[in-house]
Amino acid sequence: MSGFLEELLGEKLVTGGGEEVDVHSLAARGISLLGLYFGCSLSAPCAQLSASLAAFYGRLRGDAAAGPGAGAGPGPGAGAAAEPESRRRLEIVFVSSDQDQRQWQDFVRDMPWLALPYKEKHRKLKLWNKYRISNIPSLIFLDATTGKVVCRNGLLVIRDDPEGLEFPWGPKPFREVIAGPLLRNNGQSLESSSLEGSHVGVYFSAHWCPPCRSLTRVLVESYRKIKEAGQKFEIIFVSADRSEDSFKQYFSEMPWLAVPYTDEARRSRLNRLYGIQGIPTLIVLDPQGEVITRQGRVEVLNDEDCRGFPWHPKPVLELSDSNAVQLNEGPCLVLFVDSEDDGESEAAKQLIQPIAEKIIAKYKAKEEEAPLLFFVAGEDDMTDSLRDYTNLPEAAPLLTILDMSARAKYVMDVEEITPAIVEAFVNDFLAEKLKPEPI
């Protein structure tokens, strides 16, 4: 276990009081679950979470007081064998985005858990990218032995299971989480067993959210086309509306099913299951309940005729207005080509597809997100805007890796780009051999 943790966190962590803690000591203490808390001292929601998380942490670990450093002591004390399974087997590590060391020190001083040292800025950024953190505060739980993500939305764990009775909050099958009655907007009730044999879209949305309402209008047409084509497909609306009246008004526009608004526990469990960090989000599942894509929103907007349904992920995407938001999710390889011709774009996709498939397969085998997304960019307004924003040269073909969160770019400007050049570029990036340029 200590090997994985040291690779992830480095050799040293610090307590709120500034004392160093060896990462390998976590294994000796029998830590089975690791929480990564992403936040910042300047965020009011992070301050609120820290207070509630400290109480949760103290209860779960059985600490007499959740004061500074209470959770960071050495191995289990006397009587540990009689403690519930969860106690002293959880550790939390704060991963900060603070830019001011004094503000960071003031913020971590009262934390009973551990933190990455302030100076570990590069490691912090790698963690933000690795786990696709898009907003704060965020709390994810990992299996401390395998590194597998157990729960992507720990904020809901704190709210829904304040006593830690469901520790360690591992994912449950979709069939189990969705079990119960589902509604149509005419008041008809169906059992979730009616979904068997169907592809399912789990749609997280709310009436107060303008992008949600825009997507819903498109999704209604997509749903109709898929059903008319004879496909077994159903959508489940999981509301984030702020009142039942808003839910009913919004749901009246939808031809599919919904989790009852009053069933807050089931709605929350679905949010936890898929680690929802923002709306609208459309998760597409196969008939066995396994995730096909988390990017249903992008797929629906890019495929008006639904010819690609059920939208199995493509190793290489063609950059467009609707999928450009993915550039903010982590490092992205973007190959710019000097043509509006579809044939040239397709050739560029075929060029980088072998390495994309290899990287995706490697990380899928480890049940991890691939560390790179892969794009081809032709000549259009979107590409021009991206070049301007990142201050890229006008050359083409141009092979780049863009890391928006780090405001960094890596550029290979050569006359001819070959599969071997792409693979070497990617491998050097993953091995941290490339020198970044600022965006």
Element (H, E) at 239: strand 233-239
Q: pLDDT digits over 304-340, tens only?
A: 999 999 999 999 999 998 899 899 888 999 999 977 6
Out of 6-20, 33-47, 275-289, 359-373, least confident range: 359-373
User: Which pTM does this prediction carry?
Assistant: 0.82
Q: pLDDT digits over 61-95, tens only?
A: 876 444 444 444 443 333 334 445 545 589 999 99
Q: pLDDT digits over 261-270, tens only?
A: 999 999 999 9
Q: What is the largest CA-CA distance in the chain?
A: 72
Q: Which two tokens stand for residue 301?
A: 């907007």
Residue 299 reports pLDDT greater than 50: yes
CB 389 within 8 A of CB 438: no
Q: Report how far apart, in Å, the C-alpha atoms of 90 and of each of 27, 71, 141 are.
A: 11, 9, 9
- Output the pLDDT for position 341: 64
CB 149 within 8 A of CB 237: no
pLDDT band per the 50, 70, 90 thresholds, residue 380: confident
- Length of the chain, in residues: 439
- Rounded Cα distance between 78 and 73, Å, is 13
- Output the pLDDT for position 209: 97
The CATH number of the domain covering residues in 317-438: 3.40.30.10
pLDDT band per the 50, 70, 90 thresholds, residue 34: very high
Question: Which residue from 364, 173, 189, 358 is spatially nearest to 263, judged by alpha carbons?
Answer: 189
Task: Domain ranges for the chain, please list them.
Answer: 1-63+88-160, 174-302, 317-438
CB 174 within 8 A of CB 208: no
CB 349 within 8 A of CB 319: no
Arithmetic mean of pLDDT, 292-298 = 94
Would you identify the CATH topology of the domain 1-63+88-160?
Glutaredoxin (3.40.30)
- Output the pLDDT for position 1: 56
- Output the pLDDT for position 287: 97
CATH of range 174-302; options 3.40.50.10440, 3.40.30.10, 3.40.1280.10, 3.40.630.30: 3.40.30.10
Say yes or no: do domains 174-302 and 317-438 share a fold.
yes
